[in-house]
């Protein structure tokens, strides 16, 4: 499954469960997570979405570590199954 297909399905499920799903662009800051998920409770997650064969670049790993140092919620997700598991984990598995 292509990344854009995973993104589309993930957006739909997050919204069905009452959350917000944003595509994030940070000009001049390559490598930052490119999606933001906000749960109905207001918990914010920075998400880097990949296909099952995709891998984080060194720069993406650096930004992830910087966010984690600041106690931000950040996750790298590979494939639709992992995306669904993430949504179930942070938003509950109803629907």
Domain assignment of residue 74, given as a range: 3-88
Question: Is 94 among the domain residues?
Answer: no
Number of independent structural domains in the chain: 1
Residue 38's contacts (CB-CB under 8 Å, 6 or more residues apart) are 19, 20, 21, 22, 44, 45
pLDDT at 52: 92
For the chain, the average pLDDT equals 94
Confidence of residue 95 (pLDDT cuts 50, 70, 90): low
Name the phi and psi angles at 3, rounded to 5: -60, -40
User: For the whole model, what pTM was predicted?
Assistant: 0.91
- Res. 36: pLDDT tops 90: yes
Question: Is 19 among the domain residues?
Answer: yes
- Res. 92: pLDDT tops 90: no
Rounded CA-CA distance 13/53 in Å is 22
Q: What number is the average pLDDT over the span 17-38?
A: 94
What's 35's domain CATH number? 3.40.1350.10
């Amino acid at each position: 499954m292509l990344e854009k297909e995973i993104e589309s399905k993930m957006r739909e499920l997050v919204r069905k469960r009452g959350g917000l799903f944003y595509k994030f662009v940070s000009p001049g800051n390559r490598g930052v997570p490119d999606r933001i998920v906000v749960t109905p409770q207001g918990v914010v997650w920075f998400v880097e979405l990949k296909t099952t064969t995709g891998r984080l670049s060194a720069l993406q790993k650096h930004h992830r570590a910087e966010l984690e140092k600041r106690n931000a919620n950040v996750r790298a997700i590979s494939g639709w199954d992992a995306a669904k598991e993430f949504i179930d984990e942070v938003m509950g598995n109803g629907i």
